[in-house]
Amino acid sequence: MFPINDTESSRFSAFPVMTFMIILINTAILFIFPPFLYGEYYERVATVPAMVFSREGGGFLTGITSMFMHGGFFHLFGNMFALWVFGRRVEDACGSWRFLAFYLLAGFGSDLIYVLINSQSEIPVVGASGAVFGVMGAYLILFPRGRIRTLIFWFSFIPSWPKIRAFWVILYFLALQLVPAMDILLNGAGGQYSVAYWGHLGGFFASLTILLFLRPEAFARYWSDTQV
Amino acid sequence: MQEAIKKAKLGQELSARELFIDIVQEDPNNKLAWLWLIGLLDDRGDLILACEEVLRIDPTETRARTRLGELRRTEKVEKERKENAALAKVDALLSDGNIELALKRLRKITRENNRSEAAWGLLAKYTSDLAEKEQALSRLSALDPTNEEKKETLSRARYYRANPLELALSYEEHGETEKAIKVYEGLSAKAKGRSEWDRLFREINRLEGMKVEAIVHISPKVTIARLSVGPPILFLSMLIIQTGYDLRYFTLLMGVEFLIVIVGAFLVALSAAGSEHRVWKKLGSRGGRGSKRLRMLVGAAGLTMMLLSFTLLGIEAYVRWIPLLI
């Protein structure tokens, strides 16, 4: 199941400048500093929970730097494609600079929760996925009836691309995170997974918390099932 | 005179009254004719006039004085009864949402009795005409000159009359969207140019859009509270990471920085919300909302305080990071 496009158009702005800039910066960083050449440097600017707990390295600054780095092209493509699908209308709703602030805060919140859950981990974490999950959370709250064109391969080979309510798409991605996240939390199995599941969930819940501060009326509207 | 008295005694009241009226028209100082008229007249207003005439001629006339007192009391009770009935009708109209008709009736009541506090109060509350609001509040203040609250309300009304855009914002932040739209509509009718009209139309359009989309009104107090809490929570999160989730490494400087962030966030929230607050009143703003310049100054001060704390924490993190980066 791959979200490929938002079926509804933006209302206020013609072009999502900040979403595009974030994608551009992330892509530029990957191509200017490719991980196969600067791998060691990546470890220094990535978030390493064990280093945070031993008060070594950049502390909270690595939470921001790691947000703009990716482990490879497919890692970057997955995150940036999801950002393009969900981020445009969120940026349209709140404005470019607020969207940037929200994106950074969601990424930072994701880092905070990931580090707390994986406190012993010495594995460096990079990627914008926490912030992207945050943007998905914002999309869910701001556009509860929004529909996402989603590519589905039935039985793994029959393609179809229906418009699906954002609620179900996002719920699907959250459900994918839940089992490994519980395994990590209950069995301390963080080392077995190469994906920061708690970073994703952290970003999503951080975004809900941020929205509670910034747009409480959006929650009220969400519960009354009124669309923006 | 003899004939008039004779007719009155025979029960021919109408013709007797005509004769007595002729007499007082010829001789307005004829006390006896006026006294007879008091017994013959029906209309309360005429009766009061007759009593007053008798008392003018002979101020010691106790019967006329007593009668005049009774008449005035009855008139007052009658007036109050009528006014209460009219105000009850106004209340019913207001609860039905028929504001315009209610205002028309209130204007009539205040014309008939300019001492009716209830009518002036309702007029001040519901009229969208700023001059009328000021007049009503001025009258209310004159009726109760020792009341400081009424004086302050009048002062605010005068301020809002001079700054109607601020009034619209005040209505909006109290969730009274309709009233805010009316203020903008009133201003757009008097707009002096295309750009001013466009600006006002944008505001009307925005508020109409809010109504259509059923956007829930959030009290400015809640807005200030939530905006004030956000940056300190972010700063606290950064502190938690910086200290490695261990409060023993929490330094005095960090505590001071945190306090500065709390104050700075409050100031930024206060100026960003731009709503009425006692801080602005203490800073001398009559409308209680602060001028644009004052709000910018306070906001800039708050932002500087926050940036200072965030920068200091950033420098601390960066200094610790340098050995690893080099």
Write the CATH number for A144.
Answer: 1.20.1540.10
Containing A221, the helix (H) or strand (E) segment is helix A216-223
Has residue A188 been placed in a domain?
yes
Residues of chain A in contact with residue B237, where contact means CB-CB under 8 angstroms, are: 60, 108-109, 112
Instruction: Judge: A55–B318 Cβ closer than 8 Å, yes or no.
Output: no
Residues of chain B in contact with residue A213, where contact means CB-CB under 8 angstroms, are: 226-227, 229-230
Per-residue pLDDT at A216? 67
Tell which CATH classification among 1.25.40, 2.60.40, 1.20.81, 3.40.50 matches the domain B2-60.
1.25.40
Has residue A91 been placed in a domain?
yes
**Is B324 at the interface with chain A, CB within 8 A?**
yes
> Would you say residue B11 has pLDDT above 60?
yes
CB contact at 8 A, A99 and A211: no
Has residue A150 been placed in a domain?
yes
Mutation target for B interface from A213, A224, A225, A226: give the one with most B CBs within 10 A: A213
Has residue A228 been placed in a domain?
no
- For residue A131, the enclosing domain spans 2-223
The nearest CA of chain A is from the CA of B110 a distance in Å of: 42
**Does pTM top 0.80 for this prediction?**
no
Question: What residues have CB less than 8 Å from A86, skipping those under 6 apart?
Answer: A3, A6, A132, A135, A136, A138, A139, A148, A166
Per-residue pLDDT at A220? 67
Interface list for A 96-135 with B (CB within 8 A) = 105, 108-109, 111-112, 115-116, 119
The nearest CA of chain A is from the CA of B234 a distance in Å of: 8
pLDDT digits (tens, 9 = 90+) for B101-135: 999 999 998 988 888 888 999 999 888 788 898 89
Residues forming a β-bridge with A5: A149
Ordered by start, the domain boundaries in chain B are 2-60, 171-217, 220-325
The nearest CA of chain B is from the CA of A49 a distance in Å of: 9
Locus of tokens 């302050």: B152
Which of B229, B316, B320 is nearest residue A213 as measured by Cβ atoms?
A: B229
pLDDT digits (tens, 9 = 90+) for B253-283: 999 999 999 999 999 999 988 788 888 888 8
Q: How confident is the model at residue A225 (pLDDT cuts 50, 70, 90)?
A: low
CB pairs under 8 A between A and B: 80
Q: What is the DSSP string of A20-42?
A: HHHHHHHHHHHHHS-HHHHHHHH
Containing B78, the helix (H) or strand (E) segment is helix B62-95
The count of domains in chain A is: 1
State mean pLDDT over A87-102.
Answer: 89
The nearest CA of chain A is from the CA of B321 a distance in Å of: 4
State mean pLDDT over B302-309.
Answer: 96
**Is A142 at the interface with chain B, CB within 8 A?**
no
CB contact at 8 A, A190 and A184: yes
State mean pLDDT over A179-199.
Answer: 81
